[in-house]
Amino acid sequence: MSPKESRIYELYSSGIRLPKVTSSSFLWSRSLCVFEGHKEGVTCVAFSPDGKVASGSSDSTVRLWDAEKGEAIGAALEGHRSEVTSIVFSPDGKKVASGSSDRTVQLWDAEKGEAIGSALEGHRSGVTSIVFSPDGRKVASGSWDRTVRLWDVEKGKAFGSALKGHSDRVTSIVFSPDGRKVVSGSLDRTVRLWDAEKGEPIGTALEGHTDGVTSIVFSPDGRKVASGSLDSTVRLWDVEKGKPIGTALEGHHDRVTSIVFSPDGRKVASGSWDRTVRLWDAEKGEPIGSALGGHHNRVTSIVFSPDGRKVASGSWDRTVWLWDAEKGEPIGSAPEGRHNGVTSIVFSPDGKTIESRSSNGNVYVWDAEKRQSADVHHDTLLVFS
């Protein structure tokens, strides 16, 4: 058999054939507006509630950008000693938190453009995921060191000791909508719940996946958790009971890389290396329609629009696709350009733009309504003026 990372495996492992949409009406046109700043590739991006953009890079710096004015905000924020792996805005948009391969978490003042205190140390290996609590008072981080850590934003120090339980790398972490819980997924095949107020585990590990967990998310009401896995399945979990809801949701033919709840919590969308996007009924625990095919390479990232009517997906085939979440059909796609595979995407808070990051470090902003974007050059950040 061909290795899973080989092109032969990639092309033929799924055993399915998907129709190719070729109509020019589905293609997004381009407009130009390019800004340079990072010296190496961009590794992570985030939108603030008021329209700013933050980016982290392999050059160890964080940068802030004004998406409305189309310009950089101040100079590069320096402090990390290695690649920035994860970045997030506080709910009010006034702070930024970044995680790095240098094992630290750093807080930044998004208005003054400067570090808040010194780096938060405690992890024994690189930080893989980072998130603010809904009230902005805590930050949670996951790491290669198999632990979850909570940080007090105001005091600038660890909240309790490391939360231990996972036996392999923590891949994904998120706060519950009320901020009282944290859920983490790991390559150890489990999902774990943590009490964010007491800094202790809630129950035992949630088991069911037969391979590592790649992505995890709370439902908007905080009553469910959805997880995607290397085992090609999606699972739903009852937070209060600490048990799986029904059986594994099967349909993908390769690893699930990204998963997200709709804003109303009634649907779950997942993207997979099998090149498809799938919609699931979160209440009935069953698929909605058939697989959404259009991508010609693995899907790496997926996100709902703020109104829940659209789903956007990014892929290694160098395109971004928009899907009608109600009809289960394509709305349009971005044409292939000089950019490399898309590694992550996010909707702006108003749903008017989609920000995508390319594997070569470029960042693009697409107009989700007019379906416009731009070609950019290496190590640049693109925004619309």
For 291, 318, 333, 369, 374, the CA distances from 21, given in Å and listed in that order, are: 14, 15, 9, 20, 22
Say whether pLDDT at 191 is over 60: yes
How do the domains of the chain map onto residue ranges? 30-121+342-360+373-385
Strand-pair category, 29-30 with 372-373:
parallel
- Residue-level pLDDT at 83: 95
Per-residue pLDDT at 360: 66
Task: Indicate the burial class of 246 (C-beta count within 10 angstroms; 0-12, 13-18, 19 or more).
Answer: exposed
Determine phi and psi for 276, rounding to 5 degrees: -115, 160
Query: CB within 8 A of 77, min separation 6: which ones?
Result: 61, 62, 63, 64, 108, 113, 114, 115
Region 131-157: mean pLDDT is 97
Residue 132 contacts residue 88 (beta carbons within 8 Å): yes
If DSSP codes are grouped into helix, strand and coil, which group holds residue 357?
A: strand
How high does pLDDT run on average in the chain? 84
Of 91-95, 104-108, 112-116, 357-361, least confident by mean pLDDT is 357-361
Q: What per-residue confidence (pLDDT) applies to 245? A: 95
Looking at residue 13, its pLDDT comes to: 37
**Distance of alpha carbon 330 from alpha carbon 343, whole angstroms:** 20
Which pLDDT does position 316 carry in this prediction? Answer: 86
Average pLDDT of the segment spanning 363-369: 74
Q: Is pLDDT at 73 greater than 80 in this prediction?
A: yes
For the cut 80, the answer to whether the pLDDT of residue 370 exceeds it is no
**Is the predicted pLDDT of residue 211 greater than 70, yes or no?**
yes
pLDDT tens-place string over residues 105-139: 999 999 999 999 999 999 999 999 999 999 999 99
For residue range 325-354, what is the model confidence (pLDDT) as tens digits? 998 888 876 555 445 678 788 888 888 888
Please compute the mean of the pLDDT values over residues 289-317 and round it to a whole number: 91
pLDDT at 382: 37
The pair phi, psi for residue 24, each rounded to 5°, is -65, -15
pLDDT given at position 19? 33
Tell whether the model's pLDDT for residue 258 goes beyond 80. Answer: yes
Measure the CA–CA gap between 41 and 19, rounded to whole angstroms.
34
The identity of residue 15, as a single letter, is G
Q: Give residue 103's pLDDT band: very low, low, confident or very high (50, 70, 90).
A: very high
Say if residues 305 and 18 touch (Cβ distance below 8 Å): no
Residue 72: which pLDDT band, with cuts at 50, 70 and 90? confident
Residue 173: what pLDDT?
96
Of 100, 47, 88, 14, the closest CA to residue 295 belongs to 14
14-18, 141-145, 181-185: which has the minimum mean pLDDT?
A: 14-18
Tell me: the pLDDT tens digits for 261-286? 999 999 999 999 999 999 999 999 99
Answer for the pair 325, 278: CB distance below 8 angstroms, yes or no: no
Mean pLDDT comparison of 23-32, 60-69, 116-125, 310-319, highest-scoring range: 116-125
In the chain, count of helices (H) and strands (E)? Answer: 1, 35
pLDDT mean over 300-307 = 92
- Beta strands (DSSP E) in 11-147 are 29-30, 34-36, 42-47, 52-57, 62-66, 71-77, 84-89, 95-100, 105-109, 114-120, 127-132, 138-143
Superfamily name and number for 30-121+342-360+373-385: YVTN repeat-like/Quinoprotein amine dehydrogenase (2.130.10.10)
pLDDT of 208 reads 96
Give the confidence band of 368 by pLDDT, cuts at 50, 70, 90: confident
Alpha helices (runs of H) in the chain, residue ranges in sequence order: 7-12
287 pLDDT band (50/70/90 cuts)? very high
Strand partners, 95: 109
Do residues 291 and 321 lie in contact, with contact meaning Cβ atoms separated by under 8 Å?
Answer: no
Give the CA distances from residue 217 to residues 1, 17, 184, 225, 259, in Å, rounded to whole numbers and listed in that order.
Answer: 34, 30, 9, 6, 7
